[in-house]
Amino acid sequence: MTSTDETQSAEFRETTEGRVYTVTGGDWDELVQAVGRADDERIVVNMGPQHPSTHGVLRLILEIDGETVTQARCGIGYLHTGIEKNLEYRTWVQGTTFVTRMDYLTPFFNETAYCMAVEKLLGIEDDIPERADVLRVMLMELNRISSHMVFIATGGMEIGSTTLMIYGFRDRELILDIYELITGLRMNHAYIRPGGVAQDIPPGAIAHVREAMRTLKKRMPEYDALGTDNTVVRARLKGVGRLDLAGCMALGVTGPILRSTGLPNDLRKTDPYCGYETYDFDVPVADTMDSFGRLQIRVAEIHQSIRIVEQCLERLEKPGPVMVADKKVAWPSQLKLDADGMGNSLEHIKNIMGTSMEALIHHFKLVTEGFRVPPGQAYAAVESAKGELGVHVVSDGGTRPYRVHFRDPSFTNLQAMAAMCEGAQVADVIVAVASIDPVMGGVDR
């Protein structure tokens, strides 16, 4: 209440925490009318950036009336890395070591989009070896599985299902083991390079991946039992975080959020790249427009990704090059997994040193200075686990990018947070944000 509401029946005193009223009696109807005339004070709640339910350092600024959210805003920038600016000071190949660290849960999508844009500028899109494209597709689909597993695990934990959390991270380890086998690293790989990939898969990798897919297929019914078919989970997610097709289109929302409105929009089908048009898979959709539909879609997408990976394994039985033949672009190193980790093979170094002085100079210049990219600009996009991931690259003809800017789906999709949360309960904010599945590494670039 304000000072204009003073009555004989309610005395007040000022304290360090505000004005405190003491009701001592009087006419009850008069007191009720005074309270009714008072303007309610708005309560602002900061959820994050240090909060276990905000998916990293996301700050949610909520205005609440009781338990109802009247206004919701996102506060970002707490994880800013300056990756896009740093790319201007590195060679085109060195850029892959930066972009892989943006959305650190989907590194292969970041690398592929960036390399596709560079390849467009170089005019070598049609020269990429088929085996390199197959490896890119396989790693992106494995990445889709691992990203969705984190969504299931963290989302499950936030609604109190610790079993979903344990199962999600358990099965993600299967995928991370494959990453380590193929690239030498569990994350931040820089494996996909302009012109192809850094190296071929090691012996035994096909059998290892095939066995991991068999294990995943056996375990997938557990996610239906604990998640999509679970009565408690259904009750908690249904109707929460609603966003219809018109809202998605107005805000530029893509990925599982858009497909939960019934629109089967997927760049792998609508604008294929890396040979996706040659693979047999479906695009899961739902018509619930809520958090539950997004869970259903992500679980279904894991099944489809397993299908695509198995098709990739069949194609990898046939050997072939994994980098373009043009030695002015192709990464000159031949990496090898050894006892001391991944590095240049000794045989390759001896070959370079023993061929000719010109070959040695070319190798040195390509590694230290990098290749030149013709002036121009290009845009390339892939269907990341979270939606459309695009990159706009500009070259001034030098050995380093003039400008690189990413359209990260986490950044774009977070715009929908207010539409999903305003008018809902505070507790539902956690579920709505989890259904967006944002990663702040991709938001704060």
CB 410 within 8 A of CB 147: no
Count Cβ atoms within 10 A of the Cβ of residue 203 and give its class: 0-12 exposed, 13-18 middle, 19 or more buried. Answer: exposed
Going across the sheet that includes 376-384, the strands are: 376-384, 387-395, 403-407
Q: Within this chain, do residues 145 and 24 fall inside the same structural domain, yes or no? A: no
Give me the torsion for CA of 371, 407, 433, 247, rounded to 10°: -160
> Is residue 3 in a domain?
yes
Q: Is the model's pLDDT at 10 over the cut of 70?
A: no
Give pTM, 2 decimals. Answer: 0.85
Among 56-70, 71-85, 255-269, 339-353, the minimum mean pLDDT is found in 339-353
Same domain, 20 and 143: no
User: How many separate domains does the chain show?
Assistant: 2
Statement: residue 370 has pLDDT above 60: yes
Mean pLDDT of 431-435: 90
Strands 335-338 vs 403-407: parallel, antiparallel or unpaired = unpaired
Q: Are residues 138 and 282 in the same domain?
A: yes
Residues 29 and 111 in one domain: no
Among 17-26, 292-301, 399-408, the least confident range: 17-26
The reply to whether 320 and 407 lie within a common domain is: yes
Residue 299 lies in a domain: yes
Distance CA 300, CA 154 (A): 18
Helix/strand/coil for 217 = helix
* 50-74: pLDDT as tens digits: 655 556 788 888 888 888 888 888 8
Measured distance CA(3)–CA(12) in Å, rounded: 9
Taking residues 14-22, report their average pLDDT: 73
Residues 168 and 23 in one domain: no
Are residue 31 and residue 89 in the same domain, yes or no? no
Domain assignment present for 96: yes
Q: What pLDDT, on a 0 to 100 scale, did the predictor assign at position 301?
A: 94
Nearest to 121 by CA among 382, 398, 378, 399: 378
Q: What is the pLDDT of residue 2?
A: 42
Residues 29 and 136 in one domain: no
In eight-state DSSP terms, residue 16 is T
The verdict on residue 338 lying in a domain is: no
Q: Could you tell me if residue 249 is inside a domain?
A: yes
Domain span holding position 16: 1-39
User: Maximum CA pair distance of the chain?
Assistant: 103
For residue 292, the domain's CATH number is: 1.10.645.10
Residue 94 lies in a domain: yes
The DSSP code sequence of 69-124 is: EEEEEEE--TT---HHHHGGGS-TTTHHHHHTTSSTTSHHHHHHHHHHHHHHHHT-
pLDDT at residue 367, rounded to an integer:
82
Distance, CA of 404 to CA of 98 (rounded, Å): 11
Please give the pLDDT value at position 179: 93
227, 233 contact by CB (below 8 A) = yes
325 in any annotated domain: yes
Element (H, E) at 241: none
pLDDT band at 340 (very low <50, low <70, confident <90, very high): low
pLDDT digits (tens, 9 = 90+) for 80-101: 888 999 999 999 999 999 999 9
Please tell me which residue, 422 or 406, carries the higher pLDDT value: 406
For residue 416, being part of any structural domain is answered with: no
- Of 221 and 349, the one with more pLDDT: 221
Rounded to an integer, the average pLDDT of 255-259 is 93
Give tens-digit pLDDT for 279-338. Answer: 999 999 999 999 999 999 999 999 999 999 999 999 999 999 999 988 888 877 776 666
25 and 109 within one domain: no
Per-residue confidence (pLDDT) for residue 90, from 0 to 100: 92
| 196 and 308 together in one domain | yes
